[in-house]
């Protein structure tokens, strides 16, 4: 109880000191304006709220000068030479923070897109090389898998999975377009996808697994990996966006880890992170879309179960780690006890996120300017 009373008393002393400091400040302003003060023995409430008013002014549109009213009482009043109460006008200084809290930095978004394209091409080059090292399907059958061995192969399920991928990607695209801080969100998505594709290009190259689907068509091997052959394969894969539903993905061996699972899980994470929290139905729909898509991949024997598990783990850890570091600036500093800051890609994150202060708010706006400009020119009526 004694500690509590001491704490309350200390807070009262601090508040009193703060009001006295504000009183001295206002007194200096009045003296500089030549205002005659009579009977100013105790500071009125508006003075004590001056500092909080200043803090609010940094985030609200307030005129450069404001009128501070004084109560007409016997304890404190300011009179002019004729004895009438006066209204003091105080020039308010410019807010300390002029720069935006969430700058667009479009050039950084462009850089991140270039990094994504480069890593996507790297993944297609890796697949083009892996295709030549694919185990012979006549000698090596699918590996034992606890899920695939107990599930009948359904070929059309892979098309369903890719349709669900397109639904998730298009939903994320619409969400990002209407997000107020769309350039920041795009930048983060591009960087995360670039890291995922880069890691996938390594894992699929170092370990080549047999084809799990016994009926999936794989192009014949050319028994050569000349630059021209690789370039043709890369162009074919890029023209089909890495999907097999359009008949362009006829090269096999990209199993560790599952690209289908990466896109399905990433679409859900983006929607849950940047859509309004109250849109529970959309969040559950995105989660169900990802779950059904992953199940369809396994039903089609498009990937081994280990491919799906690794893809889920890598995608979720990378997404959560990136946003955890970006939302907490202290974690971006290199210290002996900050093990999160030892990720090899942290320097890139520092560059792209150094001007972002805190979590990106879930705010939305119309993406183009002409409707807003049109409605802003319409005459307004005050009620």
| Closest C-alpha among 278, 272, 268 to residue 167 | 268
Asked if residue 78 lies in contact with residue 85, where contact means CB atoms within 8 angstroms, the answer is: yes
Rounded Cα–Cα distance for residues 181 and 365 (Å): 9
Which residue in 131, 249, 260, 301 is the catalytic one? 260
Same domain, 29 and 171: no
Question: What phi-psi label fits residue 290: left (phi over 0), alpha (psi between -120 and 50 degrees) or beta?
Answer: alpha
Among 71-75, 259-263, 326-330, the range scoring the smallest mean pLDDT is 71-75
Residue 369 lies in a domain: no
72-82 b/e (C-beta count within 10 Å ≥ 16 → b) = eeeebbbbeee
Residue 378 lies in a domain: no
How many structural domains does the chain have? Answer: 2
Distances 260 to 38, 359, 367 between C-alpha atoms, Å:
79, 28, 30
Same domain, 341 and 207: yes
Element (H, E) at 213: none
Among 27-31, 101-105, 160-164, the range scoring the smallest mean pLDDT is 27-31
pLDDT tier for residue 14 given thresholds of 50, 70 and 90: low
> What pLDDT is attached to residue 70?
45
Among 78-82, 142-146, 236-240, 265-269, the range scoring the smallest mean pLDDT is 78-82
Phi, psi at 89, each rounded to 5°: -105, 125
Which residue in 181, 254, 301, 307 is the catalytic one? 307
Same domain, 135 and 22: no
Rounded Cα–Cα distance for residues 90 and 70 (Å): 13
Rounded Cα–Cα distance for residues 348 and 112 (Å): 10
Rounded Cα–Cα distance for residues 219 and 217 (Å): 7
Annotation says 303 is catalytic: yes
Annotation says 307 is catalytic: yes
> What pLDDT is attached to residue 161?
95
Which residue in 131, 179, 181, 303 is the catalytic one? 303
Annotation says 301 is catalytic: no
Phi, psi at 36, each rounded to 5°: -85, 125
> What pLDDT is attached to residue 283?
94
Last residue of a domain, one of 91, 124, 156: 91
> What pLDDT is attached to residue 317?
94
pLDDT tier for residue 294 given thresholds of 50, 70 and 90: very high
Alpha-carbon dihedral angle through residues 299, 301, 307, 309, given to the nearest 10 degrees:
20
**pLDDT over 60 at 371, yes or no:** yes
Task: Print the domain residue range for 181.
Answer: 106-353
> What pLDDT is attached to residue 42?
42
Selection from 30-39, 68-77, 243-252, 283-292 with the highest mean pLDDT: 283-292
Q: What is the mean pLDDT of residues 99-123?
A: 88
**pLDDT over 90 at 282, yes or no:** yes
Same domain, 77 and 216: no
pTM check: above 0.75? no
pLDDT tier for residue 241 given thresholds of 50, 70 and 90: confident
């Amino acid at each position: 109880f004694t500690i509590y009373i001491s704490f309350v008393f200390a807070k009262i002393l601090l508040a009193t000191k703060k009001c006295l400091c504000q009183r001295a400040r206002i007194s200096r302003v009045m003296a500089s304006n030549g205002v005659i003060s009579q009977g100013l023995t105790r500071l009125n409430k508006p003075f004590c709220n001056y500092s909080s008013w200043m803090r609010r002014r940094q985030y609200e549109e307030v005129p450069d000068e404001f009128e501070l009213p004084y109560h007409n009482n016997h304890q404190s009043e300011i009179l002019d030479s004729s004895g009438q109460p006066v209204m003091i006008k105080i020039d308010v200084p410019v807010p300390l923070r002029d720069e935006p809290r969430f700058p667009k930095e479009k050039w950084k978004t462009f850089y991140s897109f270039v990094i994504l394209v480069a890593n996507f091409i790297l993944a297609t080059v890796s697949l083009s090389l892996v295709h030549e090292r694919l185990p012979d399907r006549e000698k090596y059958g699918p590996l034992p898998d606890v899920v695939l061995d107990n599930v009948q192969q359904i070929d059309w399920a892979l098309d369903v999975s890719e349709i669900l991928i397109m639904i998730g990607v298009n939903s994320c695209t619409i969400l990002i377009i209407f997000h107020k801080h769309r350039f920041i969100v795009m930048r983060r998505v591009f960087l995360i996808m670039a890291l995922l594709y880069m890691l996938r290009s390594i894992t699929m190259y170092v370990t080549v697994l047999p084809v799990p689907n016994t009926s999936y068509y794989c192009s014949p091997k050319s028994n050569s990996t000349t630059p021209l052959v690789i370039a043709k394969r890369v162009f074919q894969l890029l023209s089909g966006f890495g999907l097999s539903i359009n008949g362009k993905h006829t090269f096999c061996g990209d199993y560790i880890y599952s690209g289908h699972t990466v896109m399905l899980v990433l679409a859900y994470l983006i929607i849950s992170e940047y859509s309004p929290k109250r849109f529970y139905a959309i969040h559950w729909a995105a989660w169900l879309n990802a779950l059904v898509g992953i199940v369809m991949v396994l039903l089609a024997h498009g990937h081994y179960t280990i491919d799906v598990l690794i893809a889920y783990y890598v995608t979720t850890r990378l997404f959560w780690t990136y946003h955890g570091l970006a939302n907490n600036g202290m974690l971006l500093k290199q210290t002996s006890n900050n093990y999160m800051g030892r990720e090899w890609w942290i320097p890139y994150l520092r560059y792209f996120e150094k001007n972002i202060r805190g979590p990106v708010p879930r705010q939305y706006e119309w993406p183009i300017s002409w409707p807003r400009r049109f409605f802003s020119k319409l005459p307004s009526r005050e009620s």
